[in-house]
Structure 1
Amino acid sequence: MASPDASPAVAIGDDPASSRSGRFAGPDATADVAVVVVTYESANDLEALIASLRVEAAGQRLRVVVADNGSSDGTLAVARSHSDIVAIETGGNLGYAGGINAAMRAVGDAGTILILNPDLVVVPGAIAALRERLRHSDVGVVVPRILDADGSPFTSLRREPSLLRAVGDAAFGSRFASRPGAFAEVVHDASAYEHPHPADWATGAALLIDARVARAVGPWDERFFLYSEETDFLRRVRDLGRTVWFEPGAVVRHAQGGSGASVDLERLMAVNRIRYMRKHHGPITAAAYRGAVVMHEAARAWMPAHRAALRTVLSERTWADLPRASRHDETGSAA
């Protein structure tokens, strides 16, 4: 077996002729990889992702499962226009965690689960490189290098949240990128994105998960709706004694420039950081961490989104108004 510190070769050529056609495996077939894509108003992005996955299907058996969270822009029609894609309706807007859980019920027999955001495209060879990294004995999840639409690296790697890191990020943000890791949750050091290594966690845009690990960890925590759900899931992977690896030899990129988060999503991001600490730490640590989040938002309160987040973090009774899962009743109305 190759050293885990070396980027793997990407050729995996032991698949049948049907996979070389670029078609996806059907729901009853055995797949090497079940690709899970949670969509919401993603019609403009989905075709580019599907096209890139068809290139990847030339050397391995991929099943693609699209779980749509109640889109109104024709996203589901785009997915269903491909007869070899498993397209399901989640029954509402269940958020990212809820959408993943809905899709997981349709992945079938697959050795690995690849979770992808719909606004990504997969660079040829990426899935094979992720699979090769996953072959190392203690690796449970592998994450790729992510590029923005302009080709610049996206800072996707993170360290486990802590009080010191929250204070450091509140005070310095992306400045002093070389400061000790004890004072930074986001990994800003460019050299960290140039070689494979273990990571605490990474943004949930692209994750390859050993299917056995996914079953052992269990469902994604739907209480988070959006943001911190991947932090929680990957912590539970590590709690099982499995590692999360960053593999720069696997590359995905955003198909187009992002539009940024809404004010409500900025509020939710801040609150979910606190919810995460309350789940995994005692009340004293969680309260201190909340103070650090207040400091973070107060230092940026000249920006409207951070000013709104500050008000929300300070007033817990407003948390009930944050975005959360909603299901449609039989008439199609939100319930």
Structure 2
Amino acid sequence: MARDLATAPPGRFAGPDEAVDVAIVVVTYQSADDLDRLIASLRHEAGHQRLRVIVADNASSDATLHVARGHSDLVVAETGGNLGYAGGINAAMASIGEADAILVLNPDLVVEPGAVAALRARLRESRAGIVVPKILDADGETYPSIRREPTLLRALGDAAFGSRFASRPGAFAEVVSDGGAYENAHPLDWATGAALLIDAGAARTIGPWDERFFLYSEETDFFRRARDLGYAVWFEPTAVVRHTQGGSGASVDLERLMAVNRIRYARKHHGRVAAAAYRGAVVLHELARAWMPAHRATLRTVASERTWADLPRASRPTRAGSGT
């Protein structure tokens, strides 16, 4: 079967009015250098299943839209502004159409042969609401994408040890570093949002992604809401994607936003006292690393809520258009 999947001829994607097995959502922002590779890998997946690909572009100023429109069978939606990852996903949902499942992918991914079919098979067999694949980094190594639910103890453990002593007890670490966890299918709390297959019915019940997070913690929130509604989340190791880890870029402002969004997440899902304690743990994390300029800047941000208004956030469009 694996050989058949790997050698299936490249296929065309379904149009907006056709029923499909999977509607694939790709949120782009300055993604011109990555998008063609992702689309090429998805065409091989379309050789044996019905796929629709929706590109939601967050006002890229590079050639992203030119690249996307070079593929006549993509559905291209311009959001009209930089709405962030959650906002881009929500904008794409208007073009999902009739689909059994929704696959959310970062644009800087390459999907290995058979990955989409493996995700769908796990979704059916486990009756899960969400299934995530194994992620390989640019060097072909397994990226530790599986996460445990954020807690105060885990935040304190990460503040004290960071990436050191990665094999410490799970009560004190959010990232799952045990290599065995990436070799077998199993349920989990959440995973990084670069790639996830969502049952279409579950997606409707869970509702829109929370755009208040812009970038970072939006997937933590989405997985949490799914679990709270009774949907299981599964990891499927035979579904493999490669990720260059460059889609969101890197800057001090994004580091600041990541730290603040962890506090926002705690405030949304926990009481005032617990959220205040969690914020203290985030402060300790940055204080322990304050000899580095980026962490000093982040420390100032998490310590002073007045600075949060300066963080990256959605730029709302004056008007939004869409086309195919």
Could you say whether these structures have the same fold, taking a TM-score greater than 0.5 normalized by the shorter chain as the test? yes
8 A contact 1:45–1:255 mirrored in 2:
no
**What are the ranges of 5 or more consecutive residues in structure 1 without an aligned counterpart?**
1-8, 14-18
Match of 1:242 among 194, 218, 231: 231
1:135-192 per-residue CA deviation (whole Å, 9 max, x = no partner) reads 0354110000001111011111100000000000111112112211111111111111
Q: TM-score, structure 2 length as denominator?
A: 0.94
2:71 is aligned to 82
1:1-30 per-residue CA deviation (whole Å, 9 max, x = no partner) reads xxxxxxxx76999xxxxx965100000000
**What are the ranges of 5 or more consecutive residues in structure 2 without an aligned counterpart?**
none
2:146 is aligned to 157
1:32 is aligned to 21
Match of 2:262 among 255, 265, 273: 273
8 A contact 1:145–1:246 mirrored in 2:
yes
Identity, in percent, stands at 76
1:2-81 paired onto structure 2 within 5 Å: 22-81=11-70
8 A contact 2:31–2:247 mirrored in 1:
no
Q: Alignment partner of 2:15: what SS?
A: coil
Cα pair distance change 1:292/1:30, threshold 3 Å: same
1:3 is aligned to none
1:303 counterpart = 2:292: yes
Q: Alignment partner of 1:105: what SS?
A: helix
1:112 counterpart = 2:107: no
8 A contact 2:79–2:320 mirrored in 1:
no
Matching residue's letter, 1:101: N
Greater Cα shift, 129-138 or 220-229:
129-138
Larger RCO (CA within 8 A; separation ≥ 6): 2
Q: Alignment partner of 2:34: what SS?
A: helix
Distance 1:183 1:231 in 2: 18
1:253 counterpart = 2:242: yes
Q: Alignment partner of 1:92: what SS?
A: coil
Cα pair distance change 1:210/1:163, threshold 3 Å: same
Q: Alignment partner of 2:103: what SS?
A: strand
1:223 counterpart = 2:212: yes
Q: Alignment partner of 2:242: what SS?
A: strand
Distance 1:98 1:285 in 2: 28
1:98 is aligned to 87
Cα pair distance change 1:209/1:330, threshold 3 Å: closer
Q: Number of aligned pairs?
A: 319
8 A contact 1:134–1:140 mirrored in 2:
yes
Distance 1:207 1:151 in 2: 19
Cα pair distance change 1:268/1:255, threshold 3 Å: closer
| CA deviation after TM superposition for structure 1 residue 257, in Å | 6.4
